[in-house]
Structure 1
Amino acid sequence: LFNLNSKDSVLLHNMAKIKLQGLGSEESVEAILSKGNLFTFENITGFNQSLYLIMDDSFDLSSRLGITVHGIIGYEILKDFVVDINYGTKRINFYNPDNYRHKVCKKCETFNIELFKLKPYVNVGIKIDSGSTEIIPVKLLIDSGGSDALWLFENSHPSILAPKKYFNDFLGEGLSGSVHGKRTFINSLVIGKFEFKKPTVSFPDESSISYARQFEERNGSLGASVLKRFNVIFDYKNKKITLKKGSYFKEPFRYNMSGIELVYNGKQLIREQNFTSSRLTDDRTNDKNTVILDYNYKYTFKPSYKIHHLRVDSPAYNAGLLEGDIVIKINGKFTYEMELDEIIEKFFQKENSKISLVVERKGKDYEYHFYLKDMLK
């Protein structure tokens, strides 16, 4: 659990203060470990559950996603079910493993998973260079919360080295701070009978992944940009994962070409005009008719978004945008009318797509224009 405020009330049992270390190059964070809790959602009840309450306010997942997030569901709940994740319909179904029957499916393939510290790992293959036929076997953490396609740890295998064509980028926020590294493409990713050409890959800096490297057999992570291409079925009891081709399977791999890392910036008060009625007046003296339109105004709180990180030498950086700029409009549309992911999608469009932004900086509005550029060509 995290991101709790003074209005939230949680009854915890058997508490103890601990330190947690995650991705990032900064210090560990304070947390409370609580055991023997009751956890419920929908028709699911978990008894004798352990949970971690993170006290550090700097770990703010809600601002990154643009929606309120209070926590992450982990192994303690998932282990008791067969969990079916459908990215196309945005639904997760939980099944009793004793009653569940796996369907015969030509578009599916089932793989063994390995658990280390209650986290799932799967063996896949990668081809880094287009000129090589070598398929490098790698063991990857299945990271459904990671937005990238792949993370690879350099030198975790003799052949795992970043391609010559890459750029340095902000990769995200971990429990222990920001994560930076190299962003690039590799030739292909092979998962059983499924093969993906030119997936995007990040090679995080060594300083950010010291905790992750404690499992020496781990070579990286398999993220949501790959997982979303399937219907994913986790069967922790039998240590299996089943992948079925989904609606996003053939979608090309893209990355944020703008260089902007946008985050939710709280609420802003917006004045909105509402049309209420119209009236026609008849002035017979001057032989004129007049139409009178009636409006009223209302004030509502709407979302605000700001530039949290800006990649050096990116199109947005070179156009003159700055970290801390509040984005008011994108391509002529007010951002308070949009969800965060709707705005970010525009940064993942094809190369040479035009982006027009109006931003607020120190109380003044500025307008900028730039074109998306592929840094990996």
Structure 2
Amino acid sequence: MISAQGFKLPKDQKFQKINFEMINNLIIVPLEINGAKLTFVLDSGVGKPILFNLSDQDSLQINNVSEVTIRGLGDGEPMKALKSKGNAFKLGKAKNYNQELYVVLDKEINFSTSLGIPVHGILGYELFRDFVVEINYGAQSIKLHNPELYRPPANTRKSQTLPLSIDRKKAYLQGTVLFKDSENVPVKLLVDTGSSDALWLFHEPEKGLEIPEKNYEDYLGRGLSGDIFGKRTKVSGIKIGDFELKDAKAAFPYRESFGFFNNLGDRNGSVGGEILKRFNIIFDYGREQVTLKKNGNFRAPFQYNLAGIALQHNGLRYIAESIADFNGVVREDDSSFGNVQILLENKTRLSLVPEIVVSGIRAGSPAHEAGLQEGDVILAVNGKSIHRYKLQEVLKMLNEKEGKRIKVLIERYDRDLMFTFVLKKVFDD
């Protein structure tokens, strides 16, 4: 049933196409709220939209506000938020003039620093409820189909339509996890486009969901209520419908992160962006079905943090560079976090660029054994000054391939230091 107060397209328009940016397996869409242009993560694992990162440069009027307490994933405490009704949301020509919204005031909730671009919030269920949502991960575009004018596709050799159960504003798929030394285990998985990870499983030995022997403790991400840690590992495979992904990256989050969610029902975990991006997907909540079609990412290897470093933006810093020509201009580059350049009389260019720091480091990893520490400012990787690159590009440099020698120049307490390490497999075959 389509809500009378929900998102709608203009009459007789079959669909609205929206291009998105994919960063760290997440879908980043442009969203207009009450006339303010913002960017949101499309998150099928969230109910009401949540706004959590307004900077000093952002201006947004919200309507009909009351104070509430909300709780999300993570090991922290519940947080105060504002509940706002009657807001105008717009994605292209898809509009909702009466959208409820939560505003989190805690400045610690900021996904922009780890993604490398400004991200203001998360949007989920209402969009999936009101449209048939077709996500083309290959072309990085979304089509919001008018459900009344939409006709489901037929199955082909590369595609399959599967049942999708909708429970308390969340969507679930049935799958099978393959383990080396035990029977295959059927699982019910939350479909979570707002997770950049591959597969999360709950440790339930009585159901056959035992943590494989080869594992390590790792930071898995951040929820609204704090950091999430768990055991990183891999399973022999994950099967969804007729599709099977071998040697699948998996994690077993510690149950403390789900402490608030006392009743997880028969859910056994979640499937996130690193698996979902291997398909072009049509979510049809109204018919309770999902169509998966393999795309060019299907056989891509799973990505591990071989270096063991987590990075994030940490404000801005000045760098000075000698230049050949001087033309006396001051230029502002409209990049993700701003880049102001001043050309001085002595042919030196002074640039204000994002500072990238080590925000976490895995014990026993190559970077940890080499001597890198949390808080180190990254200056260069393999001779390349990192201020010329986006944060995700720097992470790729640090995790390029097994056996590669990495040289990292860092700043620590006003001293420049060089560290060298070799990337090695996380798990031996």
- TM-score scaled by structure 1? 0.90
Q: Superposed, which structure 2 residues align to 1:44-83 within 5 Å?
A: 44-83=94-133
CA contact (8 A) 1:86 1:232 kept: yes
Report how far residue 138 of structure 1 moved: 0.7
Q: 1:123 aligns with which of 151, 174, 178?
A: 174
* Structure 2 letter corresponding to 1:29: M
Q: Distance in 2 between matches of 1:66 and 1:103?
A: 37
Confirm or deny that 1:369 pairs with 2:412.
Answer: no
Structure 1 residue 150 corresponds to structure 2 residue 190: no
Aligned-partner SS, 1:199: strand
Distance 1:318 1:92 in 2: 43
Give the superposition deviation at 1:11: 2.4
Residue 130 of structure 2 aligns to which amino acid in structure 1?
A: D
Paired residues for 1:1-377 under 5 Å? 1-104=51-154, 105-128=156-179, 130-132=180-182, 134-155=183-204, 158-212=207-261, 214-276=263-325, 296-377=347-428
1:280 aligns with: none
**C-alpha spacing 1:95/1:205, structure 2 compared with 1 (3 Å):** same
1:287 alignment partner in structure 2: none
Describe the shift of the 1:331–1:297 C-alpha distance in structure 2 as closer, same or farther (beyond 3 A). Answer: same
Change (3 A) 1:157 1:81: farther
> Partners of 1:371 and 1:22 in 2: how far apart?
37
Seen in structure 2, the aligned counterparts of structure 1 residues 258 and 44 have a Cα distance that, compared at 3 Å, is: same
Shift of residue 16 of structure 1?
2.0
- Within 1, Cα distance between the matches of 2:294 and 2:390? 28
Amino acid corresponding to residue 104 of structure 2 in structure 1:
I
In the alignment, the residues of structure 1 paired with residue 421 and residue 115 of structure 2 have an alpha-carbon distance, to the nearest angstrom, of: 24
Opposite residue 201 of structure 1, the aligned amino acid is A
Cα deviation for residue 335 of structure 1 reads 0.9
| Aligned residues of 1:126 and 1:188 also touching (Cα < 8 A) | yes
2: CA distance between counterparts of 1:181 and 1:266?
29
Moved more, 51-60 or 8-17: 8-17
CA distance in 2, matches of 1:295, 1:335: 24
Separation in 2 of the partners of 1:5 and 1:271?
Answer: 27
Contact 2:304 2:426 in 1 (8 A): no
Instruction: Please tell me the residue identity of whatever aligns with 1:72.
Output: I
Cα distance, 1:46–1:352 mapped onto 2, change above 3 Å:
same
**Structure 1's 295 and 236: CA in aligned 2 closer, same or farther, altered over 3 A?**
farther
Please state how far the C-alpha of 1:117 moved relative to its aligned partner.
Answer: 2.0
SS of alignment partner, residue 37 of structure 1: strand
Tell me the CA shift for residue 181 of structure 1.
Answer: 0.8
Give the Cα separation in 2 of the matches to 1:108 and 1:213: 36
Residue 157 of structure 1: CA displacement?
5.4
Distance 2:274 2:130 in 1: 26
Instruction: State the match for 2:337 in structure 1.
Output: none
Letter matched to residue 196 of structure 2: S
Q: What CA deviation, in whole Å up to 9, does each residue of 1:15-39 have, x standing for no partner?
A: 2211111111110111111122211
SS in structure 1 at match of 2:123: coil
Q: Give unmatched runs, 5+ long, in structure 1.
A: 278-293
Residue pair 2:314, 2:356 contacting (<8 A) in 1 also: yes
Please report the TM-score for the alignment, with normalisation by the length of structure 2. 0.80
The SS at the match of 2:394 is helix
Q: By how many angstroms is 1:304 displaced? A: 1.7
Q: CA RMSD in A?
A: 1.9
Give the direction of change, closer, same or farther, for the CA distance of 1:93–1:266 in structure 2 (3 Å limit).
farther
Q: Any idea what the Cα deviations from partners look like across 1:62-83, whole Å, max 9, x if unmatched? A: 0110100011111122321121
Shift of 1:52: 0.8
Note closer, same or farther for the CA distance 1:42–1:179 as it changes in structure 2 (3 Å cut): same
d(CA) in 2 for partners of 1:158 and 1:72?
33
204-213 vs 178-187, greater mean Cα deviation: 204-213
Distance (whole Å) between structure 2 residues aligned to residue 222 and residue 173 of structure 1: 16
Instruction: Name 1:284's counterpart in structure 2.
Output: none
Give the fraction of aligned pairs with identical amino acids, expressed as a percent: 40
How many residues end up aligned between the 2 structures? Answer: 359
SS in 1 for 2:118: coil
Q: Which residue number in structure 1 is paired with residue 25 of structure 2?
A: none
CA distance in 1, matches of 2:214, 2:113: 32
**Residues 150/327 of structure 1: CA separation in 2 closer, same or farther (3 Å cut):** same
User: Aligned partners of 2:205, 2:293: CA distance in 1, in Å?
Assistant: 29
Larger Rg, first or second structure (1 or 2): 1
CA contact (8 A) 2:185 2:207 kept: no
